[in-house]
């Protein structure tokens, strides 16, 4: 989140009712602000939508959340039931040499990675804060880690190759200053944190840990927020009304994608508008496939499998929906559900292919990787602007925002491009927004 609320002004206009706008409006309304929420589309939720089919549900974007006490609190308040990953299905796989592996490195590769992490110092060039994830991973851990751990992991979250992402944008805490190796820097940070005197804050009680999802699909979180806001804001909640200009309001929270924010800010902050126009997005398709169980008796159990380069796969990975969470299919005995993520920076051209071509890719991936020869139904969602690219252009936009429009109290940018791409980060940020924490 960029900017902060002006607590001296009780009026807030939130533009955009994707998950970020809904969360911001909900938290500010709870704190007693007079919130107006304006959404361009006839429905709230933005990228998030859960389609119901006779076979089960299909998510269009977010599938799961890494739970924290703040998320538990929010869902309890909203009456949204969260379900954890099933105990017997916690395994995550990476494909190597065509096989699903829980740990894709050999013993020698792992030892080599540890030695590099301990002994190799941060380079003179490029500067630590100018490293791509590819350069960072190869430098501190070696090529096997970059290829078999970092590439699948980052593709799974950002739909992008490590060479397209800046370490300082994705995980600033991982930037290793000059004169340190990765491990020496991490140890120093850990000692500094652990060494601070004073009583540790009591840890909040937690019922859930790890990945969770709403039992009824992500739409149930959107629906619960939407219903609360309809009731609480009344006529101040307007859908089907795209804003063409910035509203006149003491507090403005722009929760629209970067290109839309750039258009709204053209007149009031041309410099920020130009910086936001340079933010790039990655195109993705999410295809959910329902597989008849009788045709594939030995499907693997787990959360999913991600693909590194060089495995000859057309997708970035496969989520095992019905294996990891309950209530993803209408009949567990009959169907298994999988979602394949296609495109991203490795293969952007695939997203524009017609349905037949995407279906062919999905059939081939399921047959070859999981041994599932048949698919009963597929649900295809394409996003030209699926996820923002966490690169140096985005970092520059953050800097310009902090120096210009967002430097005034009551001017906030909030969405998946403002430092938190996941729902977990957005939920945590929204609760901080209402408490006046961001800047």
Tell how strand 304-306 and strand 281-292 pair up: unpaired
Tell whether residue 16 is a contact of ligand FAD (CB under 6 A). yes
Shorter beta-carbon distance to ligand FAD: residue 243 or 291: 243
Whether the CA torsion 25, 30, 31, 33 is positive or negative: it is positive
Dihedral of CA atoms 298, 301, 306, 309 in degrees, nearest 10, equals -40
Options 14, 25, 58, 61; binder of ligand FAD; rule CB under 6 A:
61
Options 2, 5, 14, 19; binder of ligand FAD; rule CB under 6 A:
19
Shorter beta-carbon distance to ligand FAD: residue 315 or 416: 416
User: Does 126 sit behind a cis peptide bond, omega within 30 degrees of 0 on the bond before it?
Assistant: yes
CB of residue 294 vs ligand FAD: minimum separation in angstroms? Answer: 29
Cβ neighbours around 196 below 10 Å, total: 7
Tell whether residue 344 is a contact of ligand FAD (CB under 6 A). no
Tell whether residue 41 is a contact of ligand FAD (CB under 6 A). yes
Shorter beta-carbon distance to ligand FAD: residue 116 or 381: 381
How many residues does the structure list for the chain? 439
d(CA 255, CA 269): 17
Residues 228-287 touching ligand FAD, rule: CB under 6 A, are 242-243, 255-257, 260, 284, 286
Options 63, 92, 313, 438; binder of ligand FAD; rule CB under 6 A:
63
Q: Given the rule CB under 6 A, which of 89-97, 114-122, 183-191, 414-422 is the region that contacts ligand FAD?
A: 414-422
Tell whether residue 394 is a contact of ligand FAD (CB under 6 A). no
d(CA 214, CA 218): 6
Q: Among residues 436, 438, 432, 439, which one has the least CA distance to residue 23?
A: 432
3 state DSSP class of 191 = helix
CB of residue 261 vs ligand FAD: minimum separation in angstroms? Answer: 8
Inter-residue contact 402 to 269 (CB < 8 Å): no
CA–centroid distance for 346 within its chain: 18
Options 1, 2, 6, 18; binder of ligand FAD; rule CB under 6 A:
18
Binding footprint of ligand FAD on the chain (CB under 6 A): 15-21, 38-41, 46-48, 61-65, 242-243, 255-257, 260, 284, 286, 341, 383, 386-387, 415-416, 421-424
């Amino acid at each position: 989140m960029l900017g902060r609320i002006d607590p001296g002004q009780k009026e807030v206009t939130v533009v955009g009712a994707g998950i970020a706008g809904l969360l911001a409006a909900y938290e500010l309304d709870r704190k007693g602000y007079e919130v107006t929420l304006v959404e361009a589309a006839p429905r709230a939720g933005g990228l998030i939508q859960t389609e119901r089919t006779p076979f089960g549900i299909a998510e269009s974007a977010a599938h799961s959340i890494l739970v924290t006490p703040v998320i538990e609190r929010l869902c309890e308040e909203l009456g949204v039931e969260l379900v954890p990953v099933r105990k017997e299905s916690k395994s995550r796989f990476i494909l190597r040499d065509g096989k699903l592996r829980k740990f894709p490195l050999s013993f020698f590769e792992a030892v080599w990675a540890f030695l590099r992490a301990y002994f190799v110092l941060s380079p003179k060039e490029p500067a630590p804060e100018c490293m791509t994830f590819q350069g960072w991973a190869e430098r501190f851990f070696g090529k096997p880690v970059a290829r078999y751990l970092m590439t699948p992991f980052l593709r799974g979250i950002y739909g992008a190759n490590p060479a397209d992402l800046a370490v300082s944008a994705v995980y600033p805490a991982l930037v290793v200053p000059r004169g340190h190796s990765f491990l020496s820097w991490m140890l120093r940070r850990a000692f500094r944190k652990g060494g601070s005197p004073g009583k540790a804050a009591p840890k909040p009680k937690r019922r859930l840990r790890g990945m969770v999802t709403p039992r009824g699909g992500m739409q149930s979180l959107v629906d619960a927020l939407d219903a609360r806001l309809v009731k609480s804001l009344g006529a101040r909640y307007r859908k089907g009304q795209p804003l063409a200009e910035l509203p006149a309001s003491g507090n403005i929270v722009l929760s629209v994608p970067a290109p839309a924010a750039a258009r709204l800010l053209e007149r009031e902050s041309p410099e920020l508008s130009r910086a936001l126009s340079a933010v790039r997005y990655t195109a993705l398709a999410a295809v959910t496939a329902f597989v008849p169980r009788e045709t594939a008796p030995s499907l693997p159990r787990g959360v999913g499998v991600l693909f590194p380069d060089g495995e000859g796969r057309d997708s970035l990975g496969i989520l095992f929906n019905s294996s990891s969470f309950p209530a993803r299919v209408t009949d567990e005995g009959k169907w298994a559900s999988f979602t394949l993520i296609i495109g991203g920076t490795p293969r952007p051209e695939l997203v524009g292919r017609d349905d037949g071509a995407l279906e062919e890719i999905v059939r081939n991936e399921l047959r070859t990787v999981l041994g599932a020869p048949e698919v009963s139904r597929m649900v295809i969602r394409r996003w030209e602007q699926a996820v923002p690219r966490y690169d140096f252009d985005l970092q520059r936009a953050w800097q310009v925002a902090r120096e210009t429009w967002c430097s005034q109290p009551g001017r906030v940018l909030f969405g998946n491009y403002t430092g938190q791409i996941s729902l977990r980060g957005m939920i945590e940020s929204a609760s901080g927004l209402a408490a006046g924490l961001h800047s």
